[in-house]
Copies of this chain bind each other. A is one copy, B any other.
Amino acid sequence: MSQPDFSANLKPHPQANGAATLAKERQQSSFDTNAISKHLFGDAYLERQARILKIVTAEKVFSKTNQANLSRPDRYKLGLARGKRLRQLMNEHNWNDDDFLMAEWLVDDVLPHHLNISLFKSAILEQCNEEQRAYWYPKLQAWEIIGAYAQTELGHGSNVRGLEATATWDHQTKEFVLHSPTLTASKWWNGTLGRTATHCVFVAQLRIPKRAGSEEFHSYGPHPFIMRVRDERTHKPMEGIIVGDIGPKYGYAPMDNAYMLLNQYRVPHDALLSRYATVNRETGEYVKPKNTGAMYGQLTRGRSQIVMNARLVLARAVTVAVRYLSIRRQFRDQDASDQFALEEQVLNYSTVQIRVLPLLASAFALHYSGAAMQELYERTRGADAQKESALNGLQELHFTSAGLKSLTTEMAADGIETCRRAMGGHGFGGGTGLIQLNNDYLSKPTVEGDNWMITQQVARYLLKKVKDLSTASRSTTASRLDASLARFREHSKSPPQLSGLSDARSILEAFEWRTAFLAFEAYESREVKKLPWNSLLVEFRNLSRAHTQAMLVVYFYEGLRGLDALPSSTKAVLWDLFRLFSLSTIEKDAWQFQRSGAVATKTLDQLPKEVLALMQRIRPHAVRVVDSFALPDYLLNSDLGRSDGKVYESLFHRAHVENPLNRITFNPRYWEDELVMGSKDGGQILSKL
């Protein structure tokens, strides 16, 4: 620019001094930020975060500055470069797997290599026999091979039994022939497989000829096979394989989600991952899977990770929203008498609080629920006196965790958008730091079990529980759920009709009563009236949701009950958050709580006022509460949510200094094809179409 840049001398309007505002916000509350950070994450996690943060922020390849400007192919390339560099850093700093995952989390961009350290790795660990594991695991850990997991197809996702790919045993050559018989049999969505992977686990319908050479088969359902996808030297697909990236999607730009077709692709006998089932190499006989009961834990652990991740996603959106909305001022209070007063902090408006503060509370509900799930999982692994009851609990969690996956990913996905809209105009900008998070996270409600579909699993379990209740005698290892269903059956004529809003245990009971009411109602519809399953799906979904909300409230309550060492003023804020979460949840489903008799009508009428009062109590602590999530500025990558409050300076810098578009002068005249002024480019963009 030839002119002097007079913007350098400008400061935001005094009322827009974000640093001063956040300082004041932090001063007005005694909420013990550090103590809560340690309580939520533990010292080891915080130490790891600080250590890894220092390393990744020192390297240019992890800079997020220009990321949103890149083309999709360049986003993939950047991801590839980042993945390589992180793996190099792993060697240099002797990182363990958790260190590496922390680095990926902070860089906040999925790596094209990701499946090698997630689903491919679990498949190798869980589905290989010992010999197979000994062979493959070191290779994948060393990234000598990069593996993917090829299950979902173009025509089938949720219905795994409907997969079309086949694996046919050829007894003569002692090989399996992997094949894609139709276009819809093409593998689809499989991460890392599109451009990056050298190998994959290929899931196909196992078929064994009834007689040698016969075209009639015994079918054994989907089984996992490990196979080479690309040539070791050239990285080109092996013969008989068509594979590529499916193209841009909502999020995950650096990830090469794949399509892949196989044409009679042969793999050796030991390609079948054989921990649970195998084919006898000599006789061609199918050897049945062992009991898979040990899988309870795995699923629960995976789902607890989803919940813990949803917690962080919510925490992140709420951190940005709470900080920015404290700093942002717009309009004076309608009732203000002083016409020269500063404009109102947007977070003071009740219509903003009602959107953001219940989400702040939700982040804690998710934390305690995820933590309890993890703890239950750990408890059943060790030798523990309470192991049997823990195992019972784990079994129950296994069946009901579908509800947690469904509800918590929905809460987080919707929560990001709710926070974004609460931020008004600037919420639509790149300065939120939420665009990519939002786009990436939108996958969660539909992957790994569609959120609506899987609620049937929870309903089915609850129907069974109600049925058991009428047949079985009271067990000594009865869970809370068993107990609450029994209580409902005994007292169904005298519902609790919750009348006060201060006793936490009564709130829990109201939630459990609602679940029991809906469970018995669903039981009546299905088991007594024999209504079609399909006509009950909406009812089942409501039941799953109600039960899961009850679980969240119970876990939240149990989590807080265990807190002793914290200052009482800090604990008081947490209990307010518990009540805000519970009561605002009741308010949203008021009709169900009324109808079931769980909450009295006049109590429901008081709810809006009570929720308002709770939000006013929590409001002064909001900034300190989000500080306790300890999310680094590098992760947030947000002008609006930065911890130092320099919102406007940062927004302006991003636009005026960093935006590459501003380095080009364009030619807007429609009668000239030239796009860049003076370049005589003749409209060259056409070549990119």
Distance of A294 Cα from B673 Cα, bound (Å):
42
Alpha-carbon distance A538/B113, docked complex (angstroms): 47
Residues of B within 8 Å of A185, CB to CB, are 13
- Whether a CB of chain B sits under 8 angstroms from the CB of A95 is no
Select from chain B the residue with minimum beta-carbon distance to A263. B6
Q: Which of A197, A334, A689 has the most CB of B within 10 A?
A: A689
- What chain B residues lie within 8 Å of A269 (beta carbons)? none
A591 to chain B minimum Cβ distance, whole angstroms, is: 4
A interface residue count range (under 10 / 10 to 19 / 20 to 34 / 35 or more) = 35 or more
Closest chain B CB from A593 CB (angstroms): 9
Using known A-B contacts A10-B183, A196-B666, A533-B334, determine if residue A660 contacts B349 with beta carbons closer than 8 Å: no
With A452-B351, A539-B608, A648-B155 in contact, do A666 and B245 touch (Cβ < 8 Å)? Answer: no
In the bound assembly, the distance between CA atoms of A662 and B236 in angstroms comes to 11
A425 contact set on B, CB distance < 8 A: 152, 157-158, 189, 446-447, 450
**Min CB–CB distance A416 → chain B (angstroms):** 11
A349 touches B537 (CB 8 A): yes
* Chain B proximity of A268: nearest CB distance (Å): 22
Known: A84-B670, A259-B655, A352-B452. 7 other contacts (CB 8 A): A66-B688, A81-B675, A158-B424, A251-B428, A334-B533, A354-B538, A421-B446
Report B-chain residues with C-beta under 8 Å of the C-beta of A5. 242
Q: Of the candidates B66, B87, B146, B246, which one forms a contact with A689 in the assembled complex, judged by CB atoms under 8 Å apart? A: B66
Q: Report the stretch among A72-80, A478-486, A503-511 that lies at the interface.
A: A72-80
Q: Give the residue name and chain of the B residue nearest to A70 (CB).
A: B71
Q: Can you offer 10 A-B residue contacts whose CB atoms are under 8 A?
A: A60-B689, A71-B71, A81-B683, A157-B330, A157-B426, A158-B330, A158-B331, A236-B665, A245-B661, A535-B612
Set of chain B residues within 8 Å of A671, measured between Cβ atoms = 88
A261-B537 CB under 8 A given contacts A194-B661, A428-B250, A689-B63 = no
Residue of B nearest to A6 (CB): B263
- A212 interfacial by beta-carbon distance below 8 Å: no
Nearest CB on B from A193, distance (A): 12
Confirm or deny: A524 has a beta carbon within 8 angstroms of a beta carbon on chain B: no
Q: How far is A688 from B68 in the complex, measured between Cα atoms in Å?
A: 11
How far is it, in angstroms, between the C-alpha of A71 and the C-alpha of B648 when the chains are bound? 26
What's the nearest-Cβ distance from chain B to residue A660, in Å? 6
User: B84 contacts A673, CB within 8 Å?
Assistant: yes
Restricting to A637-689, which residues have a CB under 8 Å from any CB of B? 648-649, 651-652, 654-656, 658-662, 664-673, 675-677, 683, 685-686, 688-689
Q: Which residues of chain B are near A235, meaning CB under 8 Å?
A: 665-668, 677
Q: Is the CB of A350 within 8 A of B655?
A: no
In the complex, which residues of chain B have a beta carbon less than 8 angstroms from the beta carbon of A61? 683, 685-686, 689
Contact B435 A248 (CB under 8 A): yes
Tell yes or no: A69 within 8 A of B by CB.
Answer: yes
0 or 1 for each of A600-615: is its CB under 8 Å from B? (1 = yes): 0000110010001000
Contact A155 B16 (CB under 8 A): yes
Report whether B435 and A7 are in contact in the complex, using a CB–CB cutoff of 8 Å. no
How far, in Å, is A418 (CB) from chain B's closest CB?
11
Residues in A159-182 with C-beta less than 8 Å from chain B = 159, 162, 164, 180, 182
Question: Which residues of chain B come closer than 8 Å to A534, judged between CB atoms?
Answer: 333-335, 348-350
Do B66 and A335 have beta carbons less than 8 Å apart?
A: no
- Say yes or no: A446-B430 contact (C-beta < 8 A), given A234-B677, A263-B6: no
**Residues of B close to A660: CB separation below 8 A:** 73
Q: A68 to B591, alpha carbons, bound, how many Å? A: 44
Closest Cβ–Cβ distance, residue A164 to chain B (whole Å): 6
A343 at the interface (CB under 8 A from B): yes
Report whether A77 and B446 are in contact in the complex, using a CB–CB cutoff of 8 Å.
no
Please give, as numbers and ranges, the residues of chain B lying within 8 Å of A495 by CB-CB distance: none
- Beta-carbon contacts under 8 Å, A29-82 to B: 60-61, 63, 65-74, 76-78, 80-81
Q: Is A198 an interface residue (CB 8 A)?
A: yes
Residues in B neighbouring A71, C-beta threshold 8 A: 69-71, 74
Return the 4 tightest CB-CB contacts between A and B, nearest first: A334-B533, A244-B662, A590-B591, A71-B71
Q: Chain B contacts of A73 at CB under 8 A?
A: 69, 660-661, 664
Distance between Cα atoms of A660 and B65 in the complex (Å): 25
Contact status B435-A162, CB under 8 Å: no
Question: Residue among A66, A251, A451, A668 with the most chain B CB within 10 A?
Answer: A668
Shortest A150–chain B CB gap in Å is 14
A211 within 8 A of B: no
State whether A654 and B12 are in contact (beta carbons under 8 Å apart), knowing that A534-B350, A670-B143 are contacts in the complex. Answer: no
Residue A500 interfacial (CB < 8 Å): no
Contact of A675 among B77, B152, B247 (CB under 8 A): B77
Residue contact A661 to B72, C-beta cutoff 8 Å: yes
A519 to B359, CA, bound (A): 29
- State A394–B334 Cα separation when bound (angstroms): 27
Q: Given the known A-B contacts A74-B71, A612-B535, are A154 and B652 also in contact in the complex, defined by CB atoms under 8 Å?
A: yes
**Complex formed: what's the CA distance from A668 to B193 in Å?**
11
Chain B hits for A427, CB < 8 A:
446
Q: A68-B72, A69-B71, A537-B349 are in contact. Are A428 and B443 (CB under 8 A)?
A: yes
In the complex, the answer to whether B591 meets A259 with C-beta atoms within 8 Å is: no
Nearest-neighbour CB distance to chain B for A394, whole angstroms, equals: 27
CB of A256 within 8 Å of the partner chain: yes
Q: How far is the CB of A527 from chain B (nearest CB, A)?
A: 13
